[in-house]
């Protein structure tokens, strides 16, 4: 499993533990740790984080949009670490044995301490900010990225309607279901679930997924990592 429900991540460190695990491990073992990791003081830790994320962006392609994608992830990790290191912080602790992220509030805002579902709220915030980075990841240039971002947060004068109201509802339902599924399965591995299923049910699920994948391909598209 190279992806462990990344859209259920509570914070950006947790996201990188769940998203593209092989790439995350490579960046950690061959860039972040050799640069000094967090062993040479806070300032060097922040610099090492940013360098690692910038190079992680360049790994995806020699385009400035990928550099910005990496810079945003580096900035997110900076802010997260600053909050953790400050005395007004939400301190995430990883329970490795159960693979659960537990958020404990130390001098955190009173309303946040009272919210039992603070993990879910932080997961939604993480999901939103991660999706902002995907705009730069998928855009061909800055002009396209900026146009997409402005259209996300404001009305575009004389803009064309790209999606009908019905399509927007369909997409919204799919996104909500996907995020809910990630959240419910966040501490579960697919292999463990599959091993508990009867062979005939597993066969039906795989066949249905394959058929849906084939039917959803309206036009040919190259594999995103083919160039690597």
Nearest-angstrom CA–CA distance, 186 and 184: 6
Nearest-angstrom CA–CA distance, 53 and 45: 12
Strands of the chain, DSSP E: 89-95, 100-106
- Spot the catalytic one: 20, 60, 73, 99: 60
Q: Exposure of 86 by Cβ count < 10 A (0-12 exposed, 13-18 middle, 19+ buried)?
A: exposed
The token pair at 224 is 């995103």
The token pair at 87 is 């005395």
- 73 classed as catalytic: no
Asked whether 49 and 57 are in contact (CB, 8 A), the reply is no
Which of 53, 49, 87, 93 has the alpha carbon at shortest distance from 70? Answer: 53
- Helical axes 142-153 vs 118-138, angle rounded to 10°: 140
Q: State the catalytic residues.
A: 60
């Amino acid at each position: 499993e190279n992806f462990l429900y990344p859209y259920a991540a509570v914070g950006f460190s947790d996201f990188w533990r769940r998203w593209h695990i092989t790439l995350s491990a490579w960046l950690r073992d061959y860039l972040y740790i050799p640069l000094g990791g967090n062993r040479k003081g806070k300032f060097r830790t922040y610099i090492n984080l940013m360098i690692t994320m910038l190079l992680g962006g360049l790994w995806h392609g020699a385009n400035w949009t990928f550099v910005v994608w990496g810079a945003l992830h580096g900035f997110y990790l900076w802010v997260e670490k600053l909050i953790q290191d400050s005395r007004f912080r939400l301190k995430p602790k990883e329970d490795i044995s159960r693979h659960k992220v537990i958020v404990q509030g130390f001098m955190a805002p009173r309303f946040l301490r009272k919210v039992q579902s603070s993990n879910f709220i932080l997961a939604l915030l993480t999901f939103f900010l991660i999706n902002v980075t995907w705009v730069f990841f998928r855009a061909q240039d800055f002009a396209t990225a900026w146009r997409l971002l402005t259209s996300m947060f404001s009305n575009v004068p004389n803009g064309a309607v790209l999606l009908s109201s019905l399509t927007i509802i369909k997409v919204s339902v799919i996104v909500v279901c996907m995020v809910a599924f990630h959240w419910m399965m966040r501490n579960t591995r697919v292999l463990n679930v599959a091993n508990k299923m009867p062979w005939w049910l597993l066969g039906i699920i795989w066949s249905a997924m394959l058929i849906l994948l084939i039917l959803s391909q309206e036009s040919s598209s190259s594999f995103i990592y083919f160039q690597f």
